[in-house]
Amino acid sequence: MNALKILGIETSCDETAVAIVEDGVNVISSVIASQIDLHAKTGGVVPEVAAREHVLKIIPVIDEALKKGNLDFHDIDAIAVTQGPGLLSSLIIGYTAALTLSKSLNLPIIPVNHIAGHIYSNWLDLNSIDEVEYPVLVLTVSGGHNDLVLLESPLEFKLIGETLDDAAGEAFDKTARILGLGYPGGPAISKAAENGNPHAYAFPRAMLNSGDFNFSFSGLKTAVLQTVEKFENNLNQQKINDIAASFQECVCEILIGKLRKATEKYNVNEVHLAGGVSANSRLREMLQEKMPNKKFRYTNKLSYCTDNAAMIAGVAYQYHMKNPDSYSKNTEAKPDPQLEPYQNQI
């Protein structure tokens, strides 16, 4: 059987991304036009600004992905695109581009869920999709999601825990804002934490022993705010570094603590980290420290942790393998900002 080349398009938030992936694993090219500098000025994503930038970037990024892969449109077998969740005005740009390519080239369109894409980013760069041994337990930690998901077989997502308020990424972003560390907060906190003492402040490990697999991070953000307010005008760089390190340690302990408890309850073969926060080096390190006997996988390339299109083309291949006929009829799907992450799309 010939390898299947899927061109993936991702524009759910502030990255315009296009990638070409073969058989769900082999990344031929992956191009990301980041808007970080643009949104750093406003301290967060302004949807209209993001959408305008996607309009400017989408065609050059498609061209670049083909060029980098030494391919043209006739080498592509299907178009995959993020259907949701995300910002509607951003999703529409990628979706329109995908639909246009699909109609004009007479190729199937495969609309996929962004969070499912994050989960399947761990399959990228393997030799085959069959290399992963189910059942798999995935901690999905991004700006909007903080979930523990059990996959007993491909694409069968069972949600076993989620955040009751903020996601970990959101907590990183809000805490960075409180500390004046800029946007995006995750990498900024991580950098400040390198020179800080992770035991300087005992922030609350909320819900760590709650007996379920849910999370809560809004109290932690408040605890950081109260600590900062206490210092009034005496907040120097060392204190900022110490708060950042203590905050990061707290988030990682809660995430890994719950993950470990879930592995005690569910008999899984592999444990994966996915989503932007999985780029955090302390989180990865703690996973190795606390569960040395488990088979882990997390995308070794940081560019696969945060938003990218390779993961979109990757998960699309999984859907295609599960039901090869379903997508030629799928031109009726629409971008959906609230798309449920774990609904089965087939």
Residue 106 — left, alpha, or beta (φ > 0 → left; ψ -120 to 50 → alpha)? left
Q: Which of residues 248-277 bind ligand KG4 (CB under 6 A)?
A: 275-277
Provide the β-strand partners of residue 17: 10, 32
Selected binder of Zn ion within 82, 142, 163, 299 (CB under 5 A): 142
Instruction: Choose the contact partner of 90 out of ligand KG4, Zn ion, none; CB within 5 to 8 A by kind.
Output: none
**Closer by beta carbon to ligand KG4, 108 or else 111:** 111
Rounded to a whole number of angstroms, the minimum distance from the CB of residue 87 to Zn ion is 11
Interaction between residue 307 and Zn ion (CB under 5 A): yes
Instruction: Choose the contact partner of 147 out of ligand KG4, Zn ion, none; CB within 5 to 8 A by kind.
Output: none
Rounded to a whole number of angstroms, the minimum distance from the CB of residue 237 to ligand KG4 is 20
CA separation, residue 110 to residues 69, 113, 325, 328, 342 (Å): 21, 10, 11, 8, 16
Measured CA to CA, the distance from residue 295 to residue 128 in angstroms comes to 17
Interaction between residue 185 and ligand KG4 (CB under 6 A): yes
Measured CA to CA, the distance from residue 17 to residue 2 in angstroms comes to 26
Taking residues 112 to 131 in sequence order and writing x for each that binds ligand KG4 by CB under 6 A, - otherwise, the string is: ------x-------------
CA separation, residue 324 to residues 105, 108, 328, 343 (Å): 18, 10, 9, 18
Selected binder of ligand KG4 within 8, 69, 94, 169 (CB under 6 A): 169
Which residue, among 17, 8, 9, has the nearest Cα to 35 in the 3D structure?
Answer: 17
Instruction: Choose the contact partner of 279 out of ligand KG4, Zn ion, none; CB within 5 to 8 A by kind.
Output: ligand KG4
Instruction: Choose the contact partner of 144 out of ligand KG4, Zn ion, none; CB within 5 to 8 A by kind.
Output: ligand KG4
Rounded to a whole number of angstroms, the minimum distance from the CB of residue 97 to ligand KG4 is 19
Residue at token pair 């799928």 = 330
Taking residues 287 to 316 in sequence order and writing x for each that binds ligand KG4 by CB under 6 A, - otherwise, the string is: -------------------xx---------
Burial (CB count <10 Å: 0-12, 13-18, 19+), residue 192: buried
Interaction between residue 140 and ligand KG4 (CB under 6 A): no
Q: Are the C-beta atoms of residues 121 and 308 closer than 8 Å to each other?
A: yes
Rounded to a whole number of angstroms, the minimum distance from the CB of residue 80 to Zn ion is 15
- 13, HSE (Cβ side, Cα atoms, 13 Å): 17
Q: How many residues does the chain have?
A: 346
**Closer by beta carbon to ligand KG4, 146 or else 227:** 146
**Three-state secondary structure call for residue 317:** helix
Interaction between residue 94 and ligand KG4 (CB under 6 A): no
Alpha helices (H) in the chain, listed in sequence order: 36-40, 47-68, 88-105, 114-120, 168-178, 185-193, 218-231, 237-265, 281-290, 302-305, 310-322
Q: Are the C-beta atoms of residues 78 and 327 closer than 8 Å to each other?
A: yes
Interaction between residue 186 and ligand KG4 (CB under 6 A): yes
Rounded to a whole number of angstroms, the minimum distance from the CB of residue 136 to ligand KG4 is 18
Instruction: Choose the contact partner of 173 out of Zn ion, ligand KG4, none; CB within 5 to 8 A by kind.
Output: ligand KG4
Interaction between residue 143 and ligand KG4 (CB under 6 A): yes
Selected binder of ligand KG4 within 11, 280, 299, 318 (CB under 6 A): 280
